[in-house]
Each structure stands twice: as structure tokens, then as C-alpha cells.
Amino acid sequence: MISETVEPVAAGRSLAKEPISRRVGVGPWSVDAVFVTPPRDSEMSLSRQAACLAEELAAAHLDRDLDAVRLATVMPSGRPIVLVDGIPTRVSVSISHLQGLVGAALCDSAGVGLDIVDPAEAGRGLDAWFTPDELSLMPDEHGLLRALLWAAKEAAYKAAHLDSEFRPRTVTIRDLSAAGFAWIAQDRFADVRGTGCFIGINRHIVAVAATPARRALLQSQTRFPEAYRP
């Protein structure tokens, strides 16, 4: 149920001064992402700045006026969706915001999840959320293992669209490398599988996760590669 719509945000004014745009290949899918370093003196919250980026991405992708596009929140999960003229669209969007970087990602053929992690804030304090198998997926030569794992888990959770609460232990990361990862997210009702990749933006690690769009899966389970079928 959509019970909360983010107030009109970007209408007519772009916040992105020098946006960093990326088109990322995630498994078989193409994801558009945009990032901006938020001005320290901005009156707009980081959440609102990320929502603006998502609306700008969606307006450009859907070739619609910016003031027709709104980011809304599915409650109670908190998952963002794109509305055009108040009607939900089939594009998947995800946002992430830190003091040093905000970003948004969009995909029209897969569920997408974006997460930004500052490696300086992803230390051994996170270990309770990782299994021994996850911690041994790759050697921690550069001290980035935990940041990669945490970004991957949060991006995977967002992409899975399970709309149940985030329990890091129910998102399992597999086949981790500095380039990407495979994942499974589970709740009482479903197991969702997907893939992901990492990009570096400034000093941040950015994980982009993707999984087959659930509506498309219901229509035809044959449109996606074997590895991504449930």
C-alpha cells in the first residue's frame, strides 16, 4: 500500500550542480545511476536531495516533465517508487544518502537497489552481521571487505522488494569480488536471487544490486537467464 507520498521536491529546479552519471551493467541489466556531493550548507535534507536525483533520473528516462514525477514511499517498508501524474510506474528506483555523497539508481527491466558506504565507517563492528563464509569470500588485502559486504547486503535488500524489515543475516552474499557479487535475500514468503556490482565514487563504495522484476516474472519466467530464475 502506498500511504505516504514525498512532498513535491524538484519541481522546476535541479539540485545537481555537478552530478556524476554512470550507466552500469549489472548482470544482464543496464542501470542508470547519478550521484552528487551534497553541499554542506544545503537547507534540503540528504533524503530530499536523493529523492530529487531519483525524480530527475525518472523524468529523463520516461521523457516526462519533472513536475509530473514524484517519488513516493511504500509503507510500512520504506521502499521508494516512482509516480507519474500520481500513477505508479514500472521503473524501479533506489536511493542512498550519506553526508559525503547522495545517489539514485533506476532500471526499467529489473528490481534495483543502491547503497553507498563510507569504508571508514565499515569496520569490525559490523562482523555480527556477517557469516564466517561471507568473511572468507575474498582476502581483505585493502581493508575493504566489510564495506563491500555491507554495501552489497543493503543494496540486495533494497533490490529484492520484499517489503519486510531489513535483517542483514537474511541477505546472503556469495561470489564476492572487488567488481561484484551474487546474493540471496529471504523472508517468510520468498527467496529472491540477484547479482550486483561495485563502483567507486570519490572515497565511497557504491553497490548496485539487481534482480528480475517481479511483475515480469509473474508474466513469464522464461524471459530471464537461468541463473536469475527463482
Ligand X SMILES: CC(C)(COP(=O)(O)OP(=O)(O)OC[C@H]1O[C@@H](n2cnc3c(N)ncnc32)[C@H](O)[C@@H]1OP(=O)(O)O)[C@@H](O)C(=O)NCCC(=O)NCCS
DSSP β-bridge partners for residue 34: 21, 104
Nearest CB to ligand X, comparing residues 66 and 159: 159
**Contact pick of 8, 25, 39, 76 for ligand X (by CB under 6 A):** 76
**Contact pick of 77, 89, 199, 201 for ligand X (by CB under 6 A):** 77
- Near ligand X by CB under 6 A, which window of 58-66, 83-91, 128-136, 155-163? 155-163
Residues within window 39-58 making contact with ligand X, judged by CB under 6 A? 47, 50
Alpha carbon distance 102, 88 (integer Å): 24
* Beta carbon of residue 14, minimum distance to ligand X (angstroms, whole number): 19
153 near ligand X, rule: CB under 6 A: no
CA atoms within 13 A on the CB side of 223: 13
Sheet holding 110-117, edge to edge: 110-117, 204-212, 191-201, 180-186, 171-174
Nearest CB to ligand X, comparing residues 47 and 186: 47
Residue 6 sits at the vertex; the CA angle it makes with 114 and 207, to the nearest 5 degrees, is 5
89 near ligand X, rule: CB under 6 A: no
The amino acid at residue 174 is R
146 near ligand X, rule: CB under 6 A: no
* Beta carbon of residue 226, minimum distance to ligand X (angstroms, whole number): 26
Residues within window 98-117 making contact with ligand X, judged by CB under 6 A? 115
* Beta carbon of residue 37, minimum distance to ligand X (angstroms, whole number): 15
* Beta carbon of residue 79, minimum distance to ligand X (angstroms, whole number): 3
- Burial (CB < 10 A; 0-12, 13-18, 19+), residue 98, is middle
Q: Where are the alpha helices (DSSP H) in the chain?
A: 46-62, 132-135, 145-160, 214-219
**DSSP-derived pairing of the beta strands 20-26 and 92-97:** unpaired
* Beta carbon of residue 128, minimum distance to ligand X (angstroms, whole number): 15
Residues within window 169-228 making contact with ligand X, judged by CB under 6 A? none
Extract the runs of DSSP E, i.e. beta strands, from the chain: 2-5, 20-26, 29-36, 69-74, 79-84, 87-88, 92-97, 102-107, 110-117, 171-174, 180-186, 191-201, 204-212
143 near ligand X, rule: CB under 6 A: no
Nearest CB to ligand X, comparing residues 89 and 164: 164
The grid cell for 141 is 588485502
- Near ligand X by CB under 6 A, which window of 31-39, 93-101, 119-127, 194-202? 93-101
Residues that bind ligand X (CB under 6 A): 47, 50, 76-80, 94-97, 115, 154, 157-158, 163-166
